[in-house]
A and B are shown apart, each in its own frame.
Chain A
Amino acid sequence: MLSKSQARTFFLGGTIVTFAIFLGLSWNSLSNDVPKQTHPENLTEQVVRGKHLWESNNCMGCHTIFGEGAYYAPELTKVYERRGEAYIKAALMSKVPWAPRGRKMVAYGFTDEQATDLVEFFKWVGEVDLNGFPPKPELKR
C-alpha cells in the first residue's frame, strides 16, 4: 500500500512538474501567440481609452466579451461586424435606457468621443483570432 511519504512525493512531484510546464506554455503564449493573434500594433490610444471605459463602467456586468462576463445582455465580440458604428453609437449615447425587446441597458449618455473610443475598442476586439469563437450558427432556418 501507498505510504504517507510516497503520497507526499506524488503531491510535490506532480505540482512542480505541471507548474513548470504551465509556466513554459504561458511564456510561449504571451511571446508568440499574443503578437500573432491579437494585433497589438492596432492598440491605438483610442482603443485603450475604449477599454478603460469598458472597465470603469463594468460593461462585463451584463455583457460578455470573448465569452467572458455576464449573461444578461448580448455577446459583444463581433458587435462591430454585426451592427456597425452608427447603431453602437446610438446605444452608447442614448440619454434614456436603450431597451430593445424591453430589457434595459444603463443610459450612459456618452459623448461622441467616448462612443467612438468604445467603437474602436470593439473593432480591435472583433479582429482578434479566437480559434473560431463565436461559432457560426450551423442550423440556421
Chain B
Amino acid sequence: MKYASQKVAYWFFAAAILLLSLQIVYGLIMGFAHMGYDGLHSVIPFNTARAVHTNLLVVWILLGFMGSAYYIIPEEAQQELVNVKLAYIQLISFLLVGVAAIVGYHLNYWEGRKFLEIPRPLDWLVVINVLTFLGIILATVYKGKKRTTTSLVLTMGLVFAALLYLPGMIWFDNQTMDSFFRWWVVHLWVEGVWELIMGGILAFLLIKLTGVDREVIEKWLYVIVGLTFLSGILGTGHHYYYIGVGKIWLIVGGIFSMLEPLAFLAMALFAVGMYRKGEKKHPNKLALYWTLGTAILSFVGAGLLGMAHTLPQVNMYTHGTLVTAMHGHLAFWGAYGMIVFSFITFAMPNLTGRRLYDTTYGQLAYWLSNIGMLGMTVAFGVAGVAQVYLERKFGMEFGAVQQEIEVHFLVLVITATMFATGITFYIIEFFRFGKPTNEAIGFEETMKKSN
C-alpha cells in the first residue's frame, strides 16, 4: 500500500467474503432440496434460495472488483482517491440495496428474470450507486500523474459493465425480446467486459508479484482483451440458438463462441509464462498460487467446459439442464471468484502490515476450496449428463429423471462442504490480519527488499 485512501478496499473485501458465506448457505439449501430434503420449502422455497444464491454471487464479485479498483487505481495513477468518504457511503448504500433485494426475495417481491431478479426501483438505486463508484474512479484517474494501460483496461471494463446493465432494464411484452436483451447483460458481462476487469487485475498482480517489465505484461493484456471481444461479442449468438430468432445465429454463435476459450487460454499461458520469466522476489507466495490458479481454472471452467456445450448440435440437448449449472459453477468460481480471492490474498498483508504470508490456514483454504469446487463440478456434470440422456434422448419424464439423479446431489453436498470448509479457513485468516492501518504504507516495498 502506498496511499492511505487504499484502505477502503479492506471493507469491500470484508463485505464480499461475508456475502459469499451467505451465498453458500443458500446453495446448500438448494443442494438438499435437489436431494429430496426440502424441509424449508414453506419459508425459503427453491426460487427464493436460488435468487438469493445467484444475486449474492454477483454482488460479492462486484464488491471484490470495486475494492480491487479502489486499491489499484491510486497506485497506478499515483494519486489518492479523490473522495474517500464518498467511497464508504457508496459501500454502505450498495449493501443496503442488496439487503433490501434479498429481503424482498423472501416476500415474493422480484422481477423474476434469471440473474436480473432485482425489482425495478432498486435497479435505479444500483445505477446511482455504480455511477458514484465510477465517478470516484474516473476523477482519480483524471487527476492522477500517470495513466497506465492496466488502469485504462480496468476502468474501461468497469464503465462498460455499468453501461451494459441498462439493456436489462427495458420492458418487453415479448418473451423472445426479453431474453434477447437479457443476454446483453449476462453474456456480455461474463464473456466480455468482466474479462477486461479480470485482465486488468491480473496484469496488476503479475507486475507486482513476478517483477516482469510492465511494457511486456501490458502488451499481452491488449492481446488477451482483443481476443475476448473478437470472439465474445459475436459469441453472444450461442444464447440465440433456441429463443425464437433466426438460424444465422447457429453459425455465427457456434463459430465465434468456439473461439472464446482462446482468450482464457491466452490468460493461462500469459500468467504461467510471466511466472517463469519473473524473478519471484515477492514474499506473498499464496497470492501467486491464487493468481496462477485463477488463470488455469478459468480456462478449464469457462473455456473448456463452456466449449463442451457451445456447438448448436450439442446445446440442443444440454440447453437448460444441469450441464449448464456444472459450467456455471466452475466458470464463475475459476474466473471471477478466484481473481477476487487472488487480489484479497495479495492486498491483505499490504493493507494491515502483518506478515502472514504462507500460513497453514491460507494453504488449507486454497486447496480445500479449489478441490471442493472441482468435486462439485464433477457432481453437477454427472447429474447433468445423466439428465440429458434420460430426459432428452430417452424421453423419460422430468420428475422421474430427477429421482434417478438424486444421489449425485449427495456428492454435491459433500464436496460443497469441503468447499465451505476452505472458505471458512479463508475467513478466519482474513480476520487474523486485523484492520488496515496507515503504518502499513510502504510495507510491501520493505518486505520485497528484505526477501
Q: Which residues of A contact B (CB under 8 A)?
A: 2-4, 7-8, 10-11, 14-15, 18-19, 21-22, 25-26, 28-30, 32-34, 37-38, 40, 43, 47-48, 51, 54-62, 64-75, 97, 100-104, 106, 125, 128-135, 137-141
Contacts and interface: CB of A to CB of B under 8 A. Distances in A.
B399 A131 contact: no
A2 B320 contact: no
Contacts of A132: 242, 316
Interface string B242-283: 111111111010001000000000000000000000000000
B325 interface: yes
Interface stretch (B127-135, B168-176, B201-209, B340-348): B168-176
24 contacts: A2-B223, A4-B222, A7-B220, A8-B222, A15-B226, A18-B230, A34-B174, A34-B176, A37-B246, A51-B173, A60-B114, A61-B51, A62-B47, A66-B175, A66-B320, A70-B50, A71-B322, A74-B399, A103-B402, A130-B243, A131-B242, A138-B393, A139-B395, A141-B394
A3 B391 CA distance: 52
Given A57-B108, A70-B50, A104-B38, A19 B233 contact: yes
B51 A10 contact: no
A3 B219 contact: yes
Contacts of B435: none
A101 B225 CA distance: 48
Interface in B178-235: 179-180, 182, 215, 218-220, 222-223, 225-227, 229-230, 233-234
Nearest to A138: B393
A24 to B, nearest CB: 11
A102 B317 contact: no
B174 A4 contact: no
B223 A59 contact: no
B65 interface: no
Nearest to A13: B226
Given A11-B225, A66-B244, 19 more contacts: A11-B223, A18-B234, A25-B248, A26-B180, A29-B180, A29-B245, A32-B246, A55-B113, A58-B112, A60-B114, A61-B51, A61-B114, A62-B45, A68-B114, A71-B325, A106-B45, A133-B241, A137-B393, A138-B393
B244 A135 contact: no
B46 A37 contact: no
Nearest to A127: B244
Contact of A129 (B47, B230, B244, B319): B244
B237 to A, nearest CB: 8
B393 A59 contact: no
B226 A61 contact: no
B145 interface: no
Interface centre among B225, B245, B325 (most CB of A within 10 A): B245
B47 A64 contact: no
A67 B319 contact: yes
Given A7-B222, A70-B114, A131-B247, A59 B392 contact: no
B111 interface: yes
Nearest to B396: A137
Contacts of A54: 112
Contacts of B51: 58, 61
The 9 closest A-B CB pairs, nearest first, are: A61-B47, A137-B395, A67-B320, A133-B242, A11-B226, A7-B222, A55-B112, A58-B112, A14-B230
A69 B179 CA distance: 11
B236 interface: yes
Contacts of B149: 4
Contacts of B117: 58, 61
Contacts of B242: 66-67, 130-133
Interface of B: 30, 33-34, 36, 38, 41, 45-48, 50-51, 105, 108, 110-114, 117, 149, 173-177, 179-180, 182, 215, 218-220, 222-223, 225-227, 229-230, 233-234, 236-237, 240-250, 252, 256, 316-317, 319-322, 324-325, 391-395, 398-400, 402-403
Nearest to B178: A51
B252 A25 contact: yes
A30 B320 CA distance: 23
A109 to B, nearest CB: 13
Contacts of B222: 4, 7-8, 10-11
B102 to A, nearest CB: 13
Contacts of A38: 174-176, 244
A29 B236 contact: no
B393 A10 contact: no
B221 to A, nearest CB: 8
Given A37-B176, A102-B36, A140-B395, A15 B400 contact: no
A133 B244 CA distance: 10
A128 B37 CA distance: 36
Nearest to B312: A131
A70 B46 contact: yes
B392 A134 contact: yes
B37 to A, nearest CB: 11
B324 to A, nearest CB: 7
A101 B47 contact: no
A40 B431 CA distance: 56
Interface centre among A37, A38, A66, A100 (most CB of B within 10 A): A66
A26 B237 CA distance: 10
A30 B223 contact: no
Contact of A7 (B45, B226, B245, B394): B226
